Amino acid sequence: MADDGSERVPESADSASGPEGTAPRPLDSIDRSILRMLQTDGRASIRSVAEHVHVSRANAYARINRLIEDGVIRGFGARVNHERAGQGASAYITLKIVQNSWRTVREQLRELPGAAHIALVSGDFDVLLLVHTPDNRTLRELVLTRLQSIPEILSTRTLLVFEETDLDPEA
């Protein structure tokens, strides 16, 4: 129950990727409004979501559950100020990897402390990795010791982040 006496938005499953082999259901304007609201406040109560999108609580609850089951909503989390959380150094690291080694590399990158986002991309490099570390010394150690010791990684390039701005989903 939320502080206002209404239930909270349901938790999502860890692997909510949607039903296998099914095409995604189209989203209507109410679904998109629910998504925008939950992106802004993942702790919103069912009652507040229902009031915001002008549907019943039962309808809001059913829609949110459907969005979770379909894999549209992958989970709920906090937007973290990494600097205040003791992760004052951030960097995007580009990686060139051995051809056909993506799955192996991805699993190893997931284990890195501070890894926040991993993407297989096209262009001059193969992988884009976002990391948050306590300081530059830890970042240096992560790149020179951990990353460069992975045999499938051919080269790295580190781009330090000087300032970050999260975009408001309502903008």
Which residue is listed with tokens 């240096």? 140
Digit-coded pLDDT (tens) for 135-168: 999 999 999 999 999 999 999 999 999 998 877 6
Contact in structure between 119 and 130 (CB atoms under 8 Å): no
Burial class (CB in 10 A: 0-12, 13-18, 19+), 109: buried
Q: What's the CA gap between 169 and 40, in Å, rounded?
A: 6
Which structure tokens are listed for 51?
């009031």
Residue 91: predicted pLDDT? 97
- pLDDT tens for the chain, residues 1 to 171: 344 444 655 554 444 444 556 777 899 999 999 999 998 888 999 999 999 999 999 999 999 999 999 999 998 888 888 888 899 999 999 999 999 999 999 999 999 999 999 999 999 999 999 999 999 999 999 999 999 999 999 999 999 999 988 776 554
Predicted confidence at residue 11, as pLDDT, reads 55
pTM exceeding 0.75? no
Q: What is the predicted pLDDT for the residue at 13?
A: 45
